[in-house]
Chain A
């Protein structure tokens, strides 16, 4: 069987025909072929204003109203606005009968996904006390992306990259990022293919020349010459990877035009390319996308509600596209975020760095419902933050196990199954 280790490719590149792609994808379908799409909500998403605990509404409203808000800055959602998006732990309970939680207004698409029984809402998830800098963006993101805590210096392998270390990858390797470089997909032996949407632009742009074929030949030659330093060798390795992938990426782009996929946001643009790579038979098993803007210290009502609405819509469009293409059966989509926000708003009508938040996991393999325990809004930790009750690594563990990986080896300890996969 041809896999990414046995397939040798020089800088000149092998001519891979599209027919190979489907063949390879079919070969690998017999093994665990779960594809994980990790989405980072960068900045620290306010879980309390994403999934609102209706049973604690009074405390919620008080915490989120530090003073009379100016127009447009009110943080606490009105109960009437939450009712249409209410849900219980049992996804089959309709909004009209639900009394436990509610998605934020605007997250209608997420509510609809929840009703399908394939969306897990994990509450109270966060970084453990043992993380000495749990309120730092750097540490929060690194923890989520590596599955480790107290990371110092050069990050270790990402948990998803490590999970794919020994997994046969496709023609483009095991992982791809549409959101720039990321530790998430750095394995012990490999790094991710990084593409900036759209895929059609992935390639070399040649300079002015009197003889293009001569220039192309000279280029391929000069970039393959021995380099003068280890850093240059690193650059060369990345370039060699990129050059070797151009034909395949463009072939998939041609094959999967996705011309009707709506892309009103940057997240949509990233997810569209991920969808194309999945349906195009790339064989990639790990993906990364990012949605920024969640660091809502000030005037939160002007940013965060729109972000979670966009997230909701983007996930819905992405999942529906895969389902329509018959490609959703082995795809698991999960959200991660640096940390949550403080339960009490500040006088700038924003929220500062806090602890527990919510994560979403979506997919055909996912058993929908609520997991974890929603933190109390009256009993906080010593820093007046929500108490975390689901270690973020526990969430990662279930996903790693679901894709056939060794979660204990990657995360450093064994976690009990939360049960959403």
Chain B
């Protein structure tokens, strides 16, 4: 019967998909909460008030000009600049710093797009082995997250981490390693099948999808981008600067290259990789492929053909703009369909954790036995989304199939993750992440259970329902104890409604 219950829930979801969307009229506050869940890692009630006053356009403009937002306090640790006896003194610090930045940077739009592109251009430390290389990769993605897609694609392709992940590092000569060429097209640029501008499949005369590339294209592109390698300077003791990408002309294939039916002149001066990525960024199917994925991650898992086509128009119009991605995001948010998809997607595990820290006053700390945010790495691993360790080249989930991250194991495991976060005592030397209860009380401005409940419901559930309030009223009394507040937080964080973005 439990499986049947799940089947009924699936049916409910399917029925929701099949019925025409009813126009949603969100209050300005709810609009802000929706915007900040999708394009930042949520926010405290105070920040929601500030952004509501600023307005969506004002917030987007502020976030697009991220250089003007002081980012200096967002990382809680200093990265190593020297190996110790040839080893990194702390293997996980690079990943922790990335998580700290997501939680505490004011450049939230950039951070959210950083997460998206890390997933899109998924690379795993499990194969790379060097977390400094992964961090460098993350920084390149972050710098280009709101920029021009062609530049982003080229920058990613030229990163040490990507060269090692998809084996372009060893791609040479006339028997090329096809891995990067294939996956770049399928996953990063043009997609598997040719698409119309509304995201629909182009079909042949038999009604079958038309592949966006064929095996010859894979092999030829692989040959065109031969000759690159990652080089380590082992005399350099700085883990962050001891690696580089170099081009080896002798390993480059100089034969004729015919791609997508056309013979092309591939540069032999070491710019072949950038050259090919530029061509792929401008393939006809790239725009609908990329836009559909952006929509599926940020707006709706079932965007309308109209929505897709609208944004593809913006994508194509801004093809050479340095802030192309930012402009597409702005168009996405300003489209009326954006608000229709309120609460339509599940929270990704990273969102579940980081949102919690930002909606409530979460903190990370270093102690004698803990590093800031250290436990989050293991917990996100258990939730199947540790950012430096995507399970495969597929990334954490296929866009449009976010529910694959919701299963019986995850829904129970996260009770423990949320328990750890809400229960952590900062005076315990093993605590690296916790909710700052005194700061929360100060933000609430009242010791009364009624006010505490109202604040938490606003922070976590957009106000919630009377029944949800009654449920947490049962664990809050008069002037509530710290543990009662922790219980109330834990209860709300484990509601099915909190699991939704």
Among residues 134 to 192 in chain A, which have CB atoms less than 8 Å away from a CB atom of chain B?
135-139, 150, 152-155, 169, 172-174, 177, 180-181, 187, 189-192
B422 touches A231 (CB 8 A): no
Q: Which of A8, A203, A229 contacts B1 (CB under 8 A)?
A: A8
B275 at the interface (CB under 8 A from A): no
| Residue A352, interface by CB 8 Å | yes
B499 touches A204 (CB 8 A): no
Cβ–Cβ < 8 Å partners of B382 in chain A: 196
Contact among B172, B218, B419, B474 with A206 in the assembled complex (CB-CB below 8 Å): B419
B409 near A227: Cβ-Cβ < 8 Å:
no
Cα distance A154–B18 in the bound complex, in angstroms:
14
Given contacts A42-B392, A214-B474, A297-B167, contact A209 B483 (CB under 8 A): yes
**Interface residue? A205 (CB, 8 A):** yes
In this complex, which of B2, B412, B468 has the most chain A Cβ atoms within 10 angstroms of its Cβ? B2
Residue of A nearest to B170 (CB): A348
Contacting pair A348 B9 (CB below 8 A): no
Report chain B residues within 8 Å CB of A132: 193, 208-211
For residue A15, CB closer than 8 A to chain B, the reply is no
B409 touches A195 (CB 8 A): yes
Q: Is the CB of A241 within 8 A of B408?
A: yes
Residues of B within 8 A of A240 (CB): 2, 5-6, 9
Q: How far is the CA of A339 from the CA of B211 in the complex (A)?
A: 18
CB pair B178 A297 closer than 8 Å: yes
Selected contact of A223 from candidates B6, B345, B384, B494, CB within 8 Å: B494
B209 pairs with A152, CB closer than 8 A: yes
Residues of B in contact with A, size category: 35 or more
- Cβ distance A254 to chain B, nearest Cβ, rounded Å: 17
CB contact under 8 A between A237 and B5, given known A228-B497, A298-B179: yes
Contact B177 A242, beta carbon cutoff 8 Å: no
Would you call B491 an interface residue if the criterion is a C-beta within 8 Å of the partner chain's C-beta atoms? yes
Q: How far is the CB of B483 from chain A (nearest CB, A)?
A: 5
CB distance from B87 to the nearest CB of A (A): 22
Q: Quick one: given A209-B483, A350-B177, are A232 and B415 in contact (CB under 8 Å)?
A: no
B209 touches A195 (CB 8 A): no
Minimal beta-carbon separation of A67 from chain B (angstroms) = 8
Q: Is the CB of B343 within 8 A of A218?
A: no
What separation, in Å, do the CA atoms of A215 and B400 have in the docked complex? 35
A-B pair number, CB within 8 angstroms: 283
Other-chain residue from B4, B186, B492 in contact with A4 (beta carbon distance below 8 A): B4
Asked whether, in the complex, the Cβ of A239 is within 8 Å of the Cβ of B215, the reply is: no
* Interface bits B167-185 vs A (CB < 8 Å: 1, else 0): 1011111111111001000
- Please determine whether B393 and A139 come into contact, CB atoms closer than 8 angstroms: no
Query: CB of A292 within 8 A of chain B?
Result: yes
Question: Cβ of A207 and Cβ of B487 under 8 Å apart?
Answer: yes
Q: Complex Cα distance A235/B483, Å?
A: 27
Q: Are B483 and A233 within 8 A (Cβ)?
A: no
A193 CA to B407 CA in the complex, in Å? 8
Contact partner of A228 (CB less than 8 A), chosen from B172, B174, B465, is B465
Q: What 1/0 mask marks residues of chain B from 210 to 224 whose CB sits below 8 Å from any chain A CB?
A: 110001001000000
B182 touches A215 (CB 8 A): no
Tell me the minimal C-beta distance from A288 to chain B in angstroms: 12
Instruction: Give the docked Cα–Cα distance between A169 and B3 (Å).
Output: 10
**A180 and B407 form a contact (CB under 8 A):** yes
- Least Cβ–Cβ distance between B440 and chain A, in angstroms: 14
A335 interface hit (Cβ, 8 Å): no
Max chain A Cβ within 10 angstroms of own Cβ: one of B8, B177, B182, B391: B177
Task: Please judge, given known A-B contacts A132-B193, A138-B394, whether A218 and B472 are in contact too, CB under 8 Å.
Answer: yes
Shortest Cβ distance from residue B328 to the other chain A in the assembled complex, whole angstroms? 22
CB–CB A234/B393 < 8 A: no
**Of B175, B394, B422, which is in contact with the most chain A CB atoms at under 10 Å from its CB?**
B175
**Residues from chain B with Cβ under 8 Å of A53 in the complex:** none
Would you list which residues of chain B between 122 and 167 have a CB under 8 Å from chain A? 166-167
- Interface size, chain A (Cβ < 8 Å): 90
Q: Is B40 an interface residue (CB 8 A)?
A: no
Q: Measured between C-beta atoms, what is the minimum distance from A74 to chain B in Å?
A: 16
B404 contacts chain A at the CB level, 8 A cutoff = yes
**Residue from B342, B394, B471, B483 whose CB has the most chain A CB atoms within 10 Å:** B471
Q: A409 at interface (Cβ–Cβ under 8 A)?
A: no
Q: Which of A42, A208, A242 contacts B408 (CB 8 A)?
A: A242
Q: Looking at the assembled complex, report how far the CB atom of A188 sits from the nearest CB atom of chain B, in whole angstroms.
A: 8
Residues on the B chain within 8 Å of A174, using CB: 3
Q: Do A173 and B407 touch across chains, with their CB atoms under 8 A apart?
A: no
Contacts of A139 in B (CB 8 A): 192
Q: Is the CB of A4 within 8 A of B412?
A: no
A230 at the interface (CB under 8 A from B): yes
Contact with A along B384-425 (1 / 0, CB 8 A): 100000011110001011011111111111011011001100
Given contacts A191-B10, A194-B407, A209-B487, whether A347 and B175 have CB atoms under 8 Å apart is: yes
Q: Beyond A196-B409, A353-B178, is A230–B16 a contact (Cβ under 8 Å)?
A: yes
Q: Which residues of B contact A136 (CB under 8 A)?
A: 186, 192
The one of A191, A194, A218, A228 in contact with B409, judged by C-beta atoms closer than 8 angstroms, is: A194
* A197 to B204 Cα, complex, angstroms: 46
Contacts A205-B419, A229-B344 hold; do A223 and B1 have CB atoms under 8 A apart? no
Once the chains bind, are B475 and A193 in contact (CB under 8 Å)? no
A239 and B496 within 8 A (CB): yes
A226 to B9, CA, bound (A): 12
Instruction: Give complex CA distance A7, B475 in Å.
Output: 33
Q: Report whether A241 and B6 are in contact in the complex, using a CB–CB cutoff of 8 Å.
A: yes
Once A137-B392, A193-B408, A207-B418 are accepted as A-B contacts, the answer to whether A231 and B13 lie under 8 Å apart by CB is yes
Cα distance, A222 to B192, chains bound together (Å):
43
The 3 A-B residue pairs whose C-beta atoms are closest, nearest first, are A237-B9, A207-B490, A205-B416
Task: Give the interface of A toward B (CB within 8 A).
Answer: 4-9, 42-43, 66, 132-133, 135-139, 150, 152-155, 169, 172-174, 177, 180-181, 187, 189-196, 202-211, 214-215, 217-219, 221-223, 225-242, 244-246, 292, 295, 297-299, 344-348, 350, 352-353, 383
8 contacts between A and B (CB under 8 A): A136-B192, A150-B208, A180-B391, A189-B4, A194-B407, A205-B419, A219-B494, A244-B5
Give me 20 other A-B pairs in contact (C-beta within 8 A), A206-B415, A232-B500 excluded: A9-B1, A66-B175, A132-B210, A135-B182, A135-B215, A152-B193, A181-B405, A202-B408, A205-B419, A210-B483, A218-B472, A226-B467, A232-B343, A233-B12, A241-B5, A297-B177, A347-B170, A348-B167, A350-B167, A353-B178
